[in-house]
Amino acid sequence: MLSTRTAPTIVTDRRAAATAEVVKPAPVDRPVTRPNLSIIIPVYNEVDTIQALYDQLVASLSSIGCTWELVFIDDGSDDGSYEIIRQLWIKDTNVRVIKFARNFGKTPAMSAGHDYARGDVIIHIDADLQNDPKDIPRLLEKLDEGYDVVSGWRKKRHDELFLRLIPSWIANRLISKMTGVQLSDYGCCLKAYRREVIQDVRLYGEMHRFVPIYASWQGARVVEIPVIHHPRRFGKSKYGISRTFKVILDLITVTFMSNYLTKPLYVFGSIGLSSLVVSAAAFAWMVVLRLFYDTHFIDTPLPVLVAMFFMVGVQLILMGLLAELLIRTYHESQDKRTYVVGTILESESFEPAEQ
C-alpha cells in the first residue's frame, strides 16, 4: 500500500505567512547565499525563553563580523513555542524554522539541524537560556586557532547535586575512559563544529552528546573551553535520572562502533572462542573425573556446561561472520572507504583506482 503521508509544507513568503497559516509559493530559481555561521537551536516547550534567547543571540552575533543564520528546530512543542518562532521568522530573514510533525527528541532535532544548516561553521545551543550566547565569539576564536571542534565545559554548573551533577560527573569520566576523547562535559549543548567534520555524521538514539567522538573518528582536532552556565529560570529540565541508563547503552554502541565497526568478528569471535575454550576445559575435566575418580557423567553438571558453552561459542562465531558480511555490504554498496584522507602530497596528477 502506498503511503499517504504528505510532504512537508515549505513556506518562503514572509509577508504572506503573516496573514496565512499555510503558503505554498511557486518555486523560484534564485541563488542561495551560504552564511558563515549556523546556530542550531532545538526547541521543545520553551515558550518563556525564545524571545530572550533570540535577543541575546542577535546582540552577540552582530559583533562578530560575519554572516549567520538561526535554525530553530521545533521538536513538537505544544505550548506556543512554534508561534513565537514563526513570528521571529516573519520579521528576520536570518531566521529559519524546521517544525517536526511530533516530538522526536533532541538527537533527531540536532540531526535535522545538520541537514538543513548552510553555514561553514555550525554551533549548537540550548533554548532554555542556561547557555550564554556571549560565549559564541570565544568558540569561534578557538576554531581560528586550528581546531575543528570546540566543546563547552560548564565548569560552574547550576544544577541539582544528586540528580544531575553526580550522574553527569560519573558519565563524563566513563565516556572519556572508554572512547579516548578527553572532555569534561559531554552534556553541554554549546559546541562549535567545522561543517566538514560533521556533515556526514548520522545520529541515532540519544547520541547527540557523542558528536565530538564521531568527529574525532574523522581525524578532527577537539578542544574544550569553560563556558557560562546560568541557573534555569523558566520551565523544568526535560531530562531525569533515567537518562543515565540511556547514556550507558549509547556508550556501549559508540565503543563498539569505534573499535569494531570494520571488524565485528573480532569481538564476537573472541567471546565465541573463549566459550569454546571453557567447553573444552569442562570436557577434559569431565573425562578426568570419569577415568581417575570413577565419577559418572550424570553425577556432575559438566556435560550440560560442555554442551551449553560449545553451542554458545559456535553461535557467536557465526554471528561474527554474518556481521562481517553485513559490514562489507554496507561499505561496498555505498562505495564507503574505511579510511579518511587528511593530506595528499604528490608531484603529478593522480586519480585513485576505480573500485
Q: Which residue has the higher pLDDT, 97 or 343?
A: 97
Handedness of CA 341, 343, 347, 348 (dihedral sign): positive
In the β-sheet with 95-99, what is the strand arrangement from edge to edge?
95-99, 68-74, 37-43, 121-124, 191-194, 149-153, 222-226
What integer best gives the mean pLDDT of the chain? 83
Q: CA-CA distances (angstroms) from residue 292 to 185, 263, 280, 287, 305?
A: 60, 44, 18, 8, 20
- ∠41-42-47 over CA atoms, to 5°? 95
Q: What percent of the chain shows pLDDT beyond 90?
A: 46
The length of the chain, given as a count of residues: 355
Digit-coded pLDDT (tens) for 295-335: 888 888 899 999 999 999 999 999 999 989 988 887 677 67
C-alpha cell at 243: 537518562
Cα 222 to the center of its chain, rounded Å: 15
DSSP structural state of residue 131: B
pLDDT in tens, 117-136: 999 999 999 999 999 999 99
Provide the residue ranges of all domains of the chain, joining segments of one domain with +.
Answer: 14-260, 264-333
* Band of pLDDT at residue 353, cut at 50, 70 and 90: low
pTM above 0.85, yes or no: no
**Closest residue by Cα to residue 273 from 310, 302, 243:** 310
Max mean pLDDT among 225-239, 242-256, 332-346 falls in 225-239
Cα–Cα distance for residue pair 17/329, rounded to 1 Å: 46
pLDDT band at residue 81 under the 50/70/90 scheme: very high
Looking at CATH, the fold of the domain delimited by 14-260 is given as Spore Coat Polysaccharide Biosynthesis Protein SpsA; Chain A (3.90.550)
Query: How do residues 325-347 score in pLDDT, each as one tens digit?
Result: 988 887 677 676 665 566 566 55
On whether the CB atoms of residues 154 and 227 are closer than 8 A, the answer is yes
For residue 4, the surrounding DSSP H or E stretch is none
CA-closest candidate to residue 100, choices 81, 122, 126, 117: 81
Grade residue 24 by pLDDT with cuts at 50, 70 and 90.
very low
Task: Report the pLDDT averaged over residues 215-236.
Answer: 86
> CB neighbours of 60 closer than 8 A, spacing ≥ 6?
133, 134, 136, 137
| Distance between CA atoms of residues 246 and 254, nearest Å | 12
Say if residue 291's pLDDT is above 80.
yes
Check the CA dihedral 166-170-175-176 and report its sign. positive
